[in-house]
């Protein structure tokens, strides 16, 4: 067996053992088309107040600048789907990915374990691990590595699992057997476009005005939420999943098997009134290890107040 084939197979096998569901390999090279698309997106101020999206443009579009001598981008998915929902249908809603512990830490630890395995089994490898925390165009790499296509809602969609998963990458100087992209299967479907409460997805799809996205408004935006969005938030207090909920491909989602993603025992039982009366102590207890801490107590209270003030 040739080394690239063997290395690809043992990496894929170990990744599955660690809990990653799908694994793909792409050649590390500058993203020419994607760079032009990013320029267009930024020029239209679709990134809102996320000024950091303007930084490190060259690093975002060329992995060999992140890891000199890089030959491969290993792309992986980690499932977070659960059918569990908040008990009170009138309670302000929180995105499923934030039910349990912060995915940045959980997935990053597994990714580091995979990279250590690679160095132990294969030899000295130079590389870096990424989980949504560095200038990496992860959805573009997932597409190139055959992990799905970027749908009309701009999320990566896998034909056997939909889109309820995290993306992770290892950029390294190890040559591997590269996968082929999957063709777009959105067809004529417009459900995500028609369902978006704030019309953040362009009429044709494939372009997201993040400054109108509920996830941006409830997490990224530090200023007051613009009054123009009153009555349009669909009761989301942290994140939003409307475009995923209506996507036909998510009928293939299966429950995750990661204990760390199980919600705090009290999270799903809080009523609308409980959330309105949320205290700093309760916030700290429920979201001690959660990604919700990114919004901070004050931010979550701001979001809840905005939903109530219609």
Question: Using one digit for the tens of pLDDT, what is the confidence trace for 106-121?
Answer: 999 999 999 999 999 9
Q: What is the mean pLDDT of the chain?
A: 96
Two structure tokens written together for 258: 């990661």
Two structure tokens written together for 67: 């890891």
249 within 8 A of 159, measured Cβ to Cβ: yes
Over pLDDT 90: what percentage of the chain? 95
> CA 15, CA 22: separation in Å to the nearest integer?
8
Q: Is the pLDDT of residue 310 over 70?
A: no
Two structure tokens written together for 16: 């599955």
Question: Using one digit for the tens of pLDDT, what is the confidence trace for 173-227?
Answer: 999 999 999 999 999 999 999 999 999 999 999 999 999 999 999 999 999 999 9
Q: pTM value?
A: 0.96
> CA 22, CA 2: separation in Å to the nearest integer?
23
* CA proximity to 54, closest of 42, 66, 44, 62: 42
**Local confidence band at 22 (pLDDT 50, 70, 90 cut-offs):** very high
Q: Is the pLDDT of residue 133 over 90?
A: no
**Which pLDDT score, from 0 to 100, does residue 192 have?**
98
132 is catalytic: yes
> CA 114, CA 310: separation in Å to the nearest integer?
48
**Which pLDDT score, from 0 to 100, does residue 52 have?**
84
Give DSSP secondary structure letters for 262-298: SPPTTGGG--HHHHHT--HHHHHHHTTTSGGGGTHHH
Question: Using one digit for the tens of pLDDT, what is the confidence trace for 255-304?
Answer: 999 999 999 999 999 999 999 999 999 999 999 999 999 999 999 999 99
> CA 149, CA 145: separation in Å to the nearest integer?
10
**Which pLDDT score, from 0 to 100, does residue 309 have?**
82
88, 109, 132, 235: the active-site residue? 132
Question: Using one digit for the tens of pLDDT, what is the confidence trace for 52-70?
Answer: 898 989 999 999 999 999 9
CA distances from 147 to 19, 143, 180, 184 (A): 16, 6, 9, 12
CA distances from 118 to 13, 69, 77, 105, 184 (A): 11, 17, 18, 20, 32
Question: Using one digit for the tens of pLDDT, what is the confidence trace for 143-160?
Answer: 999 999 999 999 999 999
The predicted model gives 243-250 an average pLDDT of: 98
Which residues are CB-neighbours of 234 under 8 A, at least 6 positions away? 93, 197, 214, 240, 242
**Which pLDDT score, from 0 to 100, does residue 1 have?**
64
Query: DSSP class of residue 226?
Result: P
């Amino acid at each position: 067996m040739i080394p690239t084939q063997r290395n690809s197979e043992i990496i894929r096998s170990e990744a599955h053992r660690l809990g990653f569901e799908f694994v793909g390999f792409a050649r590390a090279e500058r993203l020419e088309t994607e760079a032009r698309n990013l320029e267009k997106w930024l020029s239209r101020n679709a990134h809102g107040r996320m000024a950091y999206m303007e930084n490190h443009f060259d690093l975002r579009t060329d992995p060999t600048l992140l890891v000199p001598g890089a030959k491969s981008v290993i792309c992986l998915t980690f499932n977070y789907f659960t059918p569990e929902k908040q008990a009170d249908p009138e309670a302000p809603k929180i995105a499923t990915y934030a039910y349990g512990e912060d995915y940045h830490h959980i997935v990053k630890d597994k990714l580091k374990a995979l990279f250590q395995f690679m160095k132990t089994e294969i030899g000295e490898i130079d590389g870096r691990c990424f989980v949504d925390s560095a200038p990496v165009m992860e959805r573009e790499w997932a597409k190139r590595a055959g992990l799905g296509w970027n749908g009309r809602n701009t999320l990566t969609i896998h034909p056997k699992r939909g889109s309820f998963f995290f993306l992770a990458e290892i950029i390294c100087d190890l040559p591997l057997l590269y996968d082929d992209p999957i063709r777009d299967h959105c067809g004529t479907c417009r459900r995500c476009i028609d369902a978006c409460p704030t019309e953040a997805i362009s009429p044709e799809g494939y372009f997201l005005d993040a400054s109108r996205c509920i996830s941006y408004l409830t997490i990224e935006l530090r200023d007051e939420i613009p009054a123009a969005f009153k009555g349009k938030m669909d009761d989301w207090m942290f994140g939003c999943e409307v475009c995923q909920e209506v996507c036909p491909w998510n009928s293939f989602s299966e429950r995750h098997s990661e204990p760390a993603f199980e919600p705090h025992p009290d999270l799903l039982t809080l009523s609308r009134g409980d959330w309105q009366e949320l205290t700093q102590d309760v916030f700290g207890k429920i979201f001690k290890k959660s990604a919700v801490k990114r919004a901070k107590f004050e931010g979550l209270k701001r979001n809840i107040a905005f939903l109530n003030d219609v």
